[in-house]
A = this chain, B = another copy of it.
Amino acid sequence: MRTYLDCIPCFFRQGLEAVRMATRDEKKHRKVLLEIAKVLPEFPLSSTPPEMGRIIHRIIRQFTNSSDPYREIKNKHNEVALKLYPELKEKVKKAKDPLLMAIKVAIAGNVIDLGANSKVNIKEEVERTLRQDFAIFDYEKFKRALKNSDKILYIADNAGEVVFDRILIENLKKKTIYVVRDKPIINDATIDDALFCKIDKVAEIISSGCDAPGTIVNDCSEEFIKHYSTAKLIISKGQGNYESLSEDKKPIFFLLKAKCSVIARDLKCSPGDIVLKSQI
């Protein structure tokens, strides 16, 4: 997905939020915003938002020497999510269609990052998402792809959400490669989060080789690209991965909650909608 002009105010908002996580020094906060303003003219709108996200977080690292400002938040999200695991697992088990409920659980996990800045009650927000109907629902295609695949490439999004992914992986019952970001970026899941949430019990964990808040294939590792080129079923979680992969003609299923109006417009749905979208 290209960058829309509406993303620009959001770059500043995200940059400010992230640098505040890294330091309390208001002068550094301002420096980061001015540096974003400085690089903006060189950033083409044909690039994807995660490419700008990566630039912003490089700026933050440069001005603050903090390589992982969201570490504390990520730990908290992992812990909250692990506490929800038993009851979500039970909900899936009791559901009429456990696979479908597991998909919904995986999408619901995507709301966990709302908890970072607002007083959203994570459990309530998850429950609300589980009651939602899909705005885009390529479920039959998904089941066919699942049946015909012996290996699944599962591209993760945020910390915390990893626990919800684990529930879906446990219901897919196929060999799964779980892909996390190469280095800390915003609250995206890295290998530490995947291990903390015990993904290694159900999947092989690899890094994408990319440190953007998305998956910029050209910058990914050979190992990732090998899996990505040959996989018959790719699950892509969340907005950042959608933004960077939405124009690739690959057997991708996007599982996400549309959190902003730009993504919603691109997907032709409404903000807040949940989506299971087949790419091909």
Residue A38 is within 8 A (CB to CB) of chain B in the complex: yes
Q: A9 to B6, Cβ gap below 8 A?
A: no
Instruction: State the Cβ distance, A25 to closest chain B Cβ, in Å.
Output: 12
Which of A29-37, A66-74, A99-107 lies at the interface with chain B?
A29-37
**A37 and B41 contact, CB distance less than 8 A:** yes
Kindly list chain B residues whose C-beta atoms are within 8 Å of the C-beta of A16. Answer: 5-6, 8-9
Contact across chains for A34 and B30 when beta carbons are under 8 A apart = no
Of chain B, the residue at the smallest CB distance from A32 is B5
Interface size class, chain A: 10 to 19
**A60 nearest CB across to chain B (Å):** 14
A5 x B29 contact (CB < 8 A): yes
Known: A8-B12, A16-B5. A40 touches B33 (CB 8 A): yes
Chain B, residue nearest A31 (CB): B41
* Residues of A18-45 contacting chain B, CB below 8 A: 26, 29-30, 33-34, 37-38, 40-41, 45
A5-B29, A6-B16 known, 16 other contacts, Cβ within 8 Å: A5-B16, A5-B26, A5-B30, A5-B33, A8-B16, A9-B9, A9-B10, A9-B12, A9-B13, A12-B12, A33-B40, A34-B40, A34-B41, A37-B38, A37-B40, A37-B41
**Contacts from A to B (Cβ < 8 Å):** 5-6, 8-10, 12-13, 16, 26, 29-30, 33-34, 37-38, 40-41, 45
